[in-house]
Amino acid sequence: LGLVLAVVVTAASVQDRDGARQLLRHLPGHCKKLRKIWVDGGYSGRLVDWVAQRFRFVLTGVLRPKERRGFVLLPRRWVVERTFGWLNHSRRLSKDYERLMSSSEAWIYLAMSRLMANRLV
């Protein structure tokens, strides 16, 4: 569905794989039915093994075919891009205005809560 389950905002100097570990440690308890997470090719390697040892779900990489050049439509990639598009409807999230990372996280949760509440109506 592309709905946000958890958010962790890090400094730009933090590698994506390290940020993913922080995020996965903070997944709420109501995500127990989660079985598969599609990830970009940058999240492969030791992170996949680390997740397999600690969690019930599996990280599945959405990789670009090596033999293809130019634009390639990758499966499930549009879900992430669509979610970013939804978040950019909130003017406060269009640029990084916040000084604290916790403030950025709060605004993301607020924007996603507004989106989900509008869907209920």
Number of domains in the chain: 1
Domain that holds residue 114: 16-120
Beta carbons of 87 and 9 less than 8 angstroms apart: no
> Does 41 reside within a domain?
yes
Q: What is the pTM of this model?
A: 0.74
Highest mean pLDDT among 4-18, 30-44, 60-74, 80-94: 4-18
> What are the φ and ψ backbone dihedral angles of 28, each rounded to 5 degrees?
-70, 160
Q: Is residue 2 part of a domain?
A: no
The model's pLDDT over 25-66, given as tens digits with 9 standing for 90+, comes to 888 776 788 888 888 878 878 888 888 888 888 888 888 888
**Predicted local distance difference test score (pLDDT) of residue 38:** 86
Long-range pairs for 106-109: beta carbons < 8 A, 24 or more residues apart: 108/4, 108/7, 108/9, 109/4, 109/7
